Each structure stands twice: as C-alpha cells, then as structure tokens.
Structure 1
Amino acid sequence: MVEIVRIPALSDNYIWLVHEPGSGETLVIDPAVADPVLAEADARGWRITQVWNTHWHPDHTGGNGAIKAATSCRITGPAAEAERIPTLDRWVAEGDRVALGAIEAIVMETPAHTAGHISYHLPSEGLIFVGDTLFAMGCGRLFEGEADQMHANLQRFAALPPETFVYCAHEYTLANGRFALSVEPDNRALVERMEQVEVMRAAGEATLPTTIALERATNPFMRAPSAEELAERRRAKDAFRG
C-alpha cells in the first residue's frame, strides 16, 4: 500500500506526496511550489523520484523545476500540453501506464478544464488523482473545453468502484457544497455531508480525499443527467455568491 501525505500550498491547493515503501520511490502530484514538498520528503526520509502533472496551470507545475533540480526526478505529464510544461521528461496520453515502484497507474484523458488535462487511476490502490477535473461536490471550470467533455469525464469517474478514493487538487468543498444545496436542497445525503463539512472546516480540517460514492450521492455535476444540464449548473456556479 502506498502512503499519501497532503501538503497545503498557496491559498487552497493540495499537493500530494505519494510513497511506495517496497521500492522506496516517492512521487509528487501537481507541485504548485517546491519548498514545502522538499521539506516534507526530507523530514520523512523519502527520496523523490517522480513528479506527475495533470495539466499545465502554474499552480500545478510551479514547483517542477526546483524539485527536479534538487532531486533529479523524472517528470511526467500530458502529451497534449507538452509545449506548456517545458520541464517534462515523459509525455503521456489516454491508456498509457506509469509506475511508482510496483504500483501502476493508468492515464485517463479528462479534457475540459484544460484541453489536455489528464488523470491518473491506480486500480490496485483504489484511488485516482484527478487534478482540477473533479472536486468534492464540484467540478473544474470549463476554461479550454466544453460541457459535453466534462459530462463524459464525470460519468466515466462515476463508473469507477464506489469505494475509490478521489484526490483533488483544491480545498473547494465548503463553497461547492453551498452551491450544491442550492441545486438539491432536499438531498438528504448532501445536507448531512454539508453538516460534517461545516464542522471540519471550522476546525481547520481538510475534507479530502473524497470517494466516488460520496460524489455520486452529493455532487450536482456528477449527478447532472445531461451535458446541457451540467453546462447550466456550471454557469450558475460561476456566478454563485452564496
């Protein structure tokens, strides 16, 4: 089993540090910055060997260069965004496989937030790193893609085993949940989840990872019956001030 550590960064980013004890390899997912990542790995005696990027945005790649300079790690990211991530050593696309020691991840192309966004599914570990495609009770903004792409992504995620852990890149849960309640105020699972989230955030606790089961039950974007409905909800969320 891999060990996963959450590293808060910037205002609401989470960088994920993933250690595979068998090989001693350590992976960084979407490093916004380098210093806290290097410090956490050093404190644990872990050797960073890889970085995996989900997309090109600077708050997901900003630490690449410094981590690579400090550790000589190998950086993997989306082939479709290679020109925008100059630190990449390996370019991957749909169906490609990447490994951390004995653990294998399958690359899923999940465009919409950015045109070349990818996610990393680790079936043997029952988890997925989704970058800015799926959030707890939310989804990414449609900066470079369309609602039909996002709808397809979320339905693809929804088909994963319900116990799959979902590692998102931002702590947006409270704001997303407030919007979700405006869409489904009578969703009892959502109401109960938000009661828990309010308590957790008031205590300064993180709300991630989430699970596919939780998102199926409470995420208005994953629950949208069509791309058109998802587009309407995304527009409403972009303007929401609740």
Structure 2
Amino acid sequence: MLNVHTIPAFNDNYLWLVHQSTSQDAYIVDPGCAQTVIDYLATTDLNLVGILITHHHADHTGGIEQLQQHFNHTLAVYGPSNEHIKGITQPLTIATQDTIAIPSLGQVQVMAVPGHTLGHIAYYIDNKLFCGDTLFSGGCGRLFEGTPEQMLQSLKMLARLPDDTLVYCAHEYTRANLDFALHLDSTNPELIEYSTKVDHLRAKNIPSIPSTIAIEKAINPFLRCHKNAIQVAISAQFNIANIDEIHTFTLLRQWKNSF
C-alpha cells in the first residue's frame, strides 16, 4: 500500500512524499523547494531515493538541484522528456499512457495530460493519482501552453480512472474553485455538501486534498461540460445557443480566468 505524507509549501502548494508501506525508500512529488522537504524528512525515518516531476514550472521543480546536492546526487529524478527540465535523470516519453517500474514503488502508470503545459504528465500509483496542475478539486489548471481540446481530453482520461481513486493535486485551490462552481451550478446537492465539508476542513487548517474521482465527477464543472446544467449556465453567461461540450469547456475556462 502506498503511504502519502502531506508537506505544505509556499502559499498553497502541496508536496507529496510517497513510499510503499513495506519500504522506507521514498519519493517526493514536485518539490518546488528543497529545504521544506529536508526538514520534513528529518522528522521521519524515511530515506529519499527519488523525485517525480509532473511539469516544468518552478514551483514544481525548484528544489531538484538542492535536493541532489543534499543527497550527494543519488536521487533518481523522473519527469517528462519534452519539457527541458534541468536535473531529470529518468526522462519519460509518454504518448498517451504507459506503465513503468520504479524501484521501491513498483508499477506506476504514467499518463500524458497536456493542457496546463504541453508535456505535463500524471502518476497513478496504487489507486492514488498525482496530477500536478491538471486536475484540481473543483477546477483545472490554466491553459498556459496547451489547447482547450488537449486539456479536455486530459481531464476525460483522468475521469476514466476508478471512482475511488484518490486525487492528489498540487495546490490548495479548492475553496476558490468551489465558489466559482457554485456560481454556475448552485443547485447541485453534491456540490453544496462538498462545499460545506471543505469549509469545515479548512477552518481547522486541514487540507481539502485528496478528493476522489467520484467527487470530482459530481462537483467539478470542468468534468461536467457535457451536463445540461453547465451548458445552460455558459449559454446564459455568453448569450450563446446550441453549445457543445468543447465550446462549453473553452468558455468555462475563459470565465474562470477572470472570475
């Protein structure tokens, strides 16, 4: 079983320290800073052996070099081959999805999820999804490099994972995402219930992450662009009739950018 440790960083990032329950060898997902990871490891008996990178943005890669220096350049660093990330030792070329063997972790499904960036990948390990800035709870990443078509297909791929998949995204954006979701899907009972739950968690400074694929399919408007409620809201906002799924997604992302 994969164990996951939550390491908050910066203002709203989460770094995920992962290891199998049968091993003390651990990997850190998207270490935007190194010292936070080093300090956390000092409170455990875990041995950092590698890094899993989802995409090239600095708040996900900024700690690679310092971690390598601290651990005498022994870390295996996995990441997308096409994003020119300094420090990658195990470049991954993923067309759609592939399963690779990672020492101490076992079989890991790696998925190409372009949209936020063109080379963005996600890792699926033992029913746990580490999706970087592609899928957030209640939202999705901004389209800095990819197209709406690419991002929608990436989200659809993630939505096909088992409903009980735990979703470990990289940021605590949930409250803001739910405010937007409620604005356009205000009568969704699952969304209302989830919003209340998130408020209770955040009031206690407890992460709202992980969520699940089932939750996201029920409450996340970016996974519901085929649903009538979302299409009606977009049609009304932009005064457009006969809107389809991709058009809905494109305008939904545009609306969220300025919400």
Q: Which residue of 2 aligns with 1:73?
A: 75
Matched residue, 1:3: 3
Give 4+ residue runs of structure 1 displaced > 3 Å after superposition.
Answer: none
How many residues align structurally?
236
Structure 2 segments unaligned to the other structure (5+ residues):
227-244
Could you state the TM-score of these two structures normalised by the residue count of structure 1? 0.94
- Conserved 8 A contact 1:93-1:108: no
CA separation of 1:138 and 1:64: change in aligned 2, threshold 3 A: same
Q: CA deviation at 1:218?
A: 0.2
Name the residue aligned to 2:238: none
- Matched to 2:10, the amino acid is L
Compute the RMSD of aligned alpha carbons. Answer: 1.1
Match of 2:202, as an amino acid?
R
Contact 2:100–2:109 (CA under 8 A) maintained in structure 1:
yes
Look up the equivalent residue of 2:17 and give its one-letter code: L
Query: What CA distance in whole angstroms lies between the structure 2 residues aligned with 1:107 and 1:157?
Result: 11
Q: TM-score, normalised by structure 2?
A: 0.88
The aligned counterpart of 1:236 is 255
Describe the superposition over 1:17-47 as per-residue Cα deviations: whole angstroms up to 9, x where unpaired: 0122434310000001011111211211111
Mapping of residues 159-198 of structure 1, within 5 Å: 159-198=160-199
- Counterpart residue identity of residue 38, structure 1: I
Name stretches of at least 5 consecutive residues in structure 1 with no aligned partner: none
Q: In 1, distance between residues paired with 2:89 and 2:127?
A: 27
1:148 aligns with 2:115: no
Partner of 2:119: 116
**1:29 corresponds to:** 29
Post-superposition offset of 1:88: 0.6
Deviations for 1:77-127, whole angstroms, at most 9, x for unmatched residues?
00111x2x11110110222514141522111000010111000112xx111
Which 10-residue stretch deviates more, 59-68 or 220-229? 220-229
Structure 1 CA distance for aligned equivalents of residues 208 and 64 of structure 2: 26
Distance 2:29 2:212 in 1: 18
**Residues of 2 paired with 1:161 and 1:96: CA distance?**
17
Shift of 1:221: 0.1
Which has more radius of gyration? Answer: 2
